[in-house]
């Protein structure tokens, strides 16, 4: 399946009336497993990329090249449309344009560009802040100018609800909508009143970060206008914990056969073993099954 077809599929999801929960993916095998289990969309987050590529916390020390390379490894391995968290676009508006160009070439279906002041400025004691709406609009316009395939979905992202308040969040969403983004992504929304205020203020689809308890109802989210809702990034956290626990068991003398491992059928799916068997017969000689 081509990247354009995946992007068109993602756009169809945005046009519908359902809220999708994406699979948080981090490498080729995780994307294949998610696709095999029926997930419609994959999410490759900046924090997950930092963990996977660098083994580092989410402090924007990852480079665009590293993000795009890992995104490409993921997209080539499955037909799952991938939404990428492109953080702040790795710089100013010109960097944002370059970010979109590189990620589009990597085969992704959609990306978010946020208006948080990143990386952490000197002397702010870790307190998050936002760039101005004007600069945010410039970044969104640059992102749109950076795509060569019009089916690539560009999403404006803001954390304003928890930083500067609901009114500012709505103002930013309206400004990014006017700039031409395909959807808006918000973090920090906790109540139905906040969500309904945002969804009522824009005409484009809405995406959410972690879904709070009060709004954790997929039917309600779909009716309200939310098309993508995240549930965190448990898969890579579980993988890290499983690896740690396996090392502990082996280090403490456990026999390998007593340590819980991956099931053969799961490994076959993750590595598309049957496909490789067919290719081996076809391309390296021998009778076809």
Reported as a single tens digit per residue, the pLDDT across 206-234 is 999 989 899 999 999 999 999 999 999 99
What pLDDT, in 10s, does the model give residues 231-262? Answer: 999 999 999 999 999 999 999 999 998 998 88
3 state SS of 146:
helix
H/E stretch holding 4: helix 3-15
pLDDT at position 123 is: 84
Cα–Cα distance measured from residue 57 to residue 55, given in angstroms and rounded to the nearest whole number: 7
3 state SS of 233:
coil
Whether the per-residue pLDDT at 288 is higher than 60: the answer is no
pLDDT at position 286 is: 64
Cα–Cα distance measured from residue 210 to residue 21, given in angstroms and rounded to the nearest whole number: 11
**What ranges do the domains of the chain cover?**
3-233, 239-284
Contact 170, 145 (CB under 8 A): no
Residues in the chain: 289
Whether the per-residue pLDDT at 162 is higher than 70: the answer is yes
Cα–Cα distance measured from residue 165 to residue 173, given in angstroms and rounded to the nearest whole number: 13
**In the CATH scheme, what architecture does the domain 3-233 have?**
Alpha-Beta Barrel (3.20)
Angle ∠(174,141,123) on CA atoms, nearest 5: 80
């Amino acid at each position: 399946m081509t990247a354009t077809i995946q992007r068109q599929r993602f756009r169809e999801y945005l046009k519908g009336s359902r809220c999708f929960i994406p699979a948080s993916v981090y490498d080729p095998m995780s994307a294949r497993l998610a696709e095999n289990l029926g997930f419609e969309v994959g999410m490759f987050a900046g924090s997950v990329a930092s963990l996977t590529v660098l083994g580092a916390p989410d402090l924007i020390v990852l480079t665009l090249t590293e993000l795009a390379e890992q995104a490409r490894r993921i997209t080539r391995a499955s037909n799952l449309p991938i939404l990428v968290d492109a953080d702040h676009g790795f710089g100013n508006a010109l960097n944002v344009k370059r970010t979109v160009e590189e990620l589009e070439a990597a085969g992704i279906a959609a990306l978010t560009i946020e208006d948080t002041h990143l990386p952490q400025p000197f002397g702010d004691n870790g307190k998050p802040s936002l760039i101005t709406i004007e600069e945010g609009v410039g970044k969104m316009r640059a992102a749109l100018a950076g795509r060569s395939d019009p089916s690539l979905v560009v999403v404006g992202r803001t954390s304003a609800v928890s930083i500067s308040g609901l009114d500012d969040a709505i103002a930013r969403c309206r400004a990014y909508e006017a700039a031409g983004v395909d959807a808006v992504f918000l973090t920090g929304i906790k109540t139905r009143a906040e969500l309904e205020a945002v969804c009522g203020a824009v005409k484009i689809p809405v995406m959410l970060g972690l879904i709070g308890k009060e709004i954790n109802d997929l039917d309600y989210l779909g009716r309200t206008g939310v098309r993508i809702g995240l549930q965190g990034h448990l898969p890579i956290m579980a993988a890290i914990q499983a690896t740690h626990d396996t090392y502990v068991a082996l280090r403490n003398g456990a026999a390998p056969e007593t340590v819980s491992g991956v099931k053969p059928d799961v490994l076959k799916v993750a590595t598309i073993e049957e496909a490789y068997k067919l290719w081996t017969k076809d391309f390296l000689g021998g009778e076809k099954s």
